[in-house]
Amino acid sequence: YVLKVIVQSVQLLYTLLRIDQPSYILLQNPPGLPSIAVAWVAGLFWGSKLIIDWHNYGYSIMSLSHGRNHPLVLIAKWYEKLFGRLSDYNLCVTDAMKEDLWVNFKIKAVTLYDKPASYFKETPLDLQHNLYMKLAKDYEPFKPRYVNAERSAFTERDGKGGNVVKIRGRPALLISSTSWTEDEDFSVLLRALEGKGPLKDYYNGLIQKLHFKHIQICTPWLEAEDYPLLLGSADLGVCLHKSSSGLDLPMKVVDMFGCCLPVCAIYFKCLHELVKHNENGLIFRDSKELAEQLKMLFSEFPSLEGKLHSFRQNLRKSRQLRWDESWDQIVLPLGCQIHSCSCTDLGNNE
């Protein structure tokens, strides 16, 4: 760890000191070790303002592997607290984190919620069909029951008019985005269905041992451009992310909501700032509760009646801010007030 931190510090500082002089250094944390300290030193050299964007705490992520009382975790917490106070300004992703930063670190921050990029949106039916046909080449669940050159498990193209339609009696498409890391217990979903990360092989082993009659599971690695298309094509998203600190929100749900995709998400204490239970999705606490929610949501599928449809309608009506709009409304005015700068200047340094 020590050698890695030293090497990264030298590399990062060398890189920062070679760029054109910046007015602001905007740093996302985590990862903050050693980047917070290095960015602060570079800011002193350049006379730049350091803005930290707190997405979580690095020490809380380390504690998932080492335990909260491990010496490395305690050092990382001390480091974030010390150098975090040296920043000129701070952003954070939840009101809960804003309060925690002040109470425990004496750091004042402004809440800037994560927002989806503009390309996260509902996918038109013809693009859904193209994506399904592409995935059907490699993944069995996307293949049709009957061989047809213009048919997937979910859609087919009319040979005469060329129009794409959804297949009657099609299966529901449930998606759970995951990094296969320690902060997501994927077995919760597997137990609920039953009645490139470090843990992918483990969960794939569990999947192979299960014998479902009406459920097919695949774990594809999607190309970057296909991921938002799949979210915009799905019927339900499931989020198993449990915040290591209990203070950040899952970006995967933000992206799903950008695609007007209803979500079932596992509970943690500040999740209500994003998922509104019974409004844009459902919150569950264990596999039994998730199983009941899935049964209820898909009981009349693919009917346009019921909770699943009403959640999607609510998401359509909510018209969320996109990332660039949120930046312009929250960050630019704050920069002008605090640093007496030009909004255009800060915008150009975005």
Q: Could you read off the pLDDT of 139-181 as tens digits, one per residue?
A: 989 988 777 778 999 999 887 778 999 988 889 999 998 766 6
Cα–Cα distance, 269 to 44 (Å, whole number):
38
- As a whole-number percent, the residues of the chain with pLDDT over 70 amount to 88
Quickly count: other Cβ atoms within 10 Å of residue 346's Cβ: 22
The alpha-helical segments, DSSP class H, found in the chain are: 2-18, 35-46, 58-66, 71-84, 95-105, 125-136, 187-194, 200-209, 226-231, 251-258, 287-297, 307-318, 323-326, 332-339, 343-348
Q: Greatest CA span in the chain, whole angstroms?
A: 69
Q: Is the pLDDT of residue 244 over 90?
A: no
Q: Is the pLDDT of residue 12 over 60?
A: yes
In this prediction, residue 220 has a pLDDT band, given cuts at 50, 70 and 90, of confident
Positive/negative CA dihedral, 223, 225, 227, 232? negative
Per-residue confidence (pLDDT) for residue 338, from 0 to 100: 52
Q: Is the pLDDT of residue 210 over 70?
A: no
Per-residue confidence (pLDDT) for residue 94, from 0 to 100: 94
Q: Is the pLDDT of residue 207 over 70?
A: no
Q: Is the pLDDT of residue 209 over 70?
A: no
What mean pLDDT, rounded, does the chain reach?
86
Q: Could you read off the pLDDT of 275-314 as tens digits, one per residue?
A: 999 999 999 999 999 999 998 998 888 887 789 999 999 9
